A and B are shown apart, each in its own frame.
Chain A
Amino acid sequence: MNPSEKAASSHPVIRTLTSPAGRALLALLLVLLVGLIFNADGAFFRPGTHRDALRQASVYGILACGLTLVIITAGIDLAVGSVLALVAVCGAKMAIHWHWPAVVVVVASLLVGAACGGTCGFVAARLRVQPFIATLAMMVFARGLAKYASGGMKVSRSFGGEFVDLPPLFAFIDKRILGDNVSMVSVIFLGCVVLAWLALDRHRWGRQLYAIGGNEDAARLSGVPVVAAKAAAYVASGVFAAIAGLCQAAQEQQGDPETGGGYELIAIAMVVIGGTSLMGGRGGMGLTLLGVLTIGYLEKILSINAVPEAGRLMLTGLIIVVAVLTQRRRPA
């Protein structure tokens, strides 16, 4: 985008195509092209297919929003899948079993997520434990806490011999709007994208995260509050995981302590496929949005074609590698 940065000789179209955003867009278009060819007897052309592709990518996508903030600082957050499960369990308990008002459930759930993220942030940023280890510990701990809080059973509507009504909060999150064409969870996901984009692109804190990811020592010497800014990124990741947890519980109509296993790796893959570097300092929310759509559509296309599991896993692996290879910066 910055003309002085790139060689003035290259054509604007080439420049756009070789920019990170251009390449991420290309990967998404390639996946969509696969969908056009293998359209499963026209199922790919129905609006419902696209609404559902977005719906099923949304929970991963919300996790990816938080992960983008953390990965920009050259950190990682492996705990998001477990925090999602913990919040799903707590949210289901509060909403289904205790009939708490929706606002209280949402606020309390976000606080649970923030507390988990805050602990990760404190251990990683203040105590300077490697983020991989700090969040791995939280991944294990939060999963245990989810099992403890739920008593090892799913927190479901079947409770005390009764079948409890679906709480209004869950019905709201799982409903569809705009003439049945958009799932509410997708709207929530887009809201999260905008929030994370505002924080990264339009706020001083975002600049600080890029600076920390680029060169932490340089950032510290130039007066960036490294510990606070970094810890805040983990808090944000915990809050996004909590939002994802509520969405998951609403869609399952229960709090399953086993849910979300492995989701952190899918969300990380979405961030990386978008073009945000695991080394920190480079990337952004727009790229993550493209990465989420790429993997989301890939899953949907494999699903409508009823591709057997073995083939799905191999294809997904291949496409991740190809997408990341096209993302690699070529030497100038």
Chain B
Amino acid sequence: MQTKTLFSSLLTVVFLAGFTGCKPSTDSSDTPGAARYTIGMSQCNLGEPWRVQMNADVKAAADQHPELKVIFKDAQNDTLKQRAHVEEFVSAKVDLILISPKEAAPLTEPVAKAMAAGIPVIVLDRALLGDQFTCFIGADNVKIGRAAGEWIRQTLGGKGKVVELKGLMTSVPGQDRHQGFRQGIAGSQIEIIFEADMKWLEPEARKEMESALARFDQIDLVYAHNDPGAHGAYLAAQATAREKQMKFVGIDALPHEGVAYVKKGILDATFQYPTGGAEAVATALKILRGESVPKKIVLGSRVFDKANVEQGGRELP
């Protein structure tokens, strides 16, 4: 199925490239004339709500500063298109580049060239190879997965039957959220009775959960690598009237998704995977003013559960 999606998206890309000439959608903060600094922002794919949220966070933070103007470009999940973004920003002589890269290796060289041209680069969420960038801002999926594991261990009292619905296991976030979770429950009597790859997709998660429900009469908790996955699992359990027999835990905690589900009592907990949009703009301002910034900023995460969701969650240590 994945190959089929790949095939169709390949066709889409070929088609789009042929007919629209890779024209980026540009959008700038509305501060005509007043802007002193232009920032180019290249987002790898606006098909994911989390990345839409990242752009929204960058825009909201930049709107606070009339001296900033941000140009947004969407690479539509195409590495070469994103490479072109960087080159376009360099020839347009922007003052700073924000990039959330699709993948490390092919974008390392173009970013190094931008640095050589004297343009500072902030890398968001996914890292590049080497050290030819100004600052990396990202969250730690292993840490978040571990926090989820520890929360689950505590909530279940150290034992229970758990279903793990994994994100795409060929992707690093999926691997990290899996690995961290296993570290978090290590040594307890928690048993993973069913695990399946739901490829981050809600319909897939619902399908896999139906299979888990068909096989096992007792399930204590479902841990999904993202909130749509946990929601899909909830709907599957609800359809067999078993949703009250188990808990549901997700990751990402977008305001309109995971956090809303916790408020509604659908999920028992969700762990925030922060976008870093606000931190990126703050760091950009420091760089533009000539202040020094750390090479790497690891974002903190928050847990939202029934006890704290109305207070805006609790910061994780």
Contacts and interface: CB of A to CB of B under 8 A. Distances in A.
Contact of A253 (B4, B208, B214, B235): B235
B8 A262 contact: yes
Given A153-B52, A306-B195, A308-B197, A49 B214 contact: yes
A43 B211 contact: yes
Nearest to B256: A158
A43 B5 contact: no
Contact of A143 (B12, B202, B208, B213): B12
A75 B194 CA distance: 42
A77 interface: no
A52 B7 CA distance: 28
B317 interface: no
A134 B195 CA distance: 41
A119 interface: no
Nearest to A40: B215
Contacts of B169: 309
Contacts of A264: 8
Majority secondary structure, A binding face:
helix
B292 interface: no
Given A156-B256, A304-B215, A248 B197 contact: no
Contacts of B12: 139-140, 143
A49 to B, nearest CB: 5
B143 interface: no
Contact of A261 (B9, B210, B235, B239): B9
B81 interface: no
Interface size class of A (residues with CB under 8 A): 35 or more
Given A136-B15, A143-B12, A158-B256, A265 B7 contact: yes
Contacts of A259: 203
A135 to B, nearest CB: 11
Majority secondary structure, B binding face:
helix
A313 B197 contact: no
Interface in A140-165: 140, 143, 147, 152-154, 156-159, 163
Contacts of B5: 261-262
Interface in B34-56: 46-49, 52
A46 B1 contact: no
Contact of A266 (B4, B202, B211): B4
A225 interface: no
B207 interface: yes
Interface string A23-58: 000000000000000001101001011001001100
A230 interface: no
A176 B8 contact: no
Contacts of B264: 158, 163
Contacts of A46: 214
Interface residues of B, number: 44
Interface in B9-24: 9, 11-12, 15-16
Contact of B203 (A49, A152, A157, A252): A252
Nearest to A259: B203
Contacts of B49: 152-154
Contacts of B261: 158
A251 B214 contact: no
B215 A56 contact: no
A309 B2 contact: yes
Nearest to A262: B5
A137 B15 contact: yes
Contacts of A147: 47
Contact of B4 (A41, A140, A262): A262
- In order of increasing CB-CB distance, the 5 nearest A-B pairs are A158-B260, A262-B5, A265-B4, A52-B210, A303-B211
B196 A251 contact: no
Nearest to B206: A251
Nearest to A265: B4
Contacts of A251: 203, 206, 235
B276 to A, nearest CB: 19
A81 interface: yes
Contacts of B194: 306
29 contacts: A41-B215, A43-B215, A48-B214, A52-B210, A52-B211, A55-B210, A56-B210, A78-B11, A81-B8, A136-B11, A136-B15, A139-B12, A140-B12, A152-B46, A154-B49, A158-B261, A163-B263, A251-B235, A252-B235, A253-B235, A256-B202, A261-B8, A264-B8, A303-B207, A303-B208, A303-B211, A306-B195, A309-B2, A316-B1
A226 B210 CA distance: 45
A37 to B, nearest CB: 16
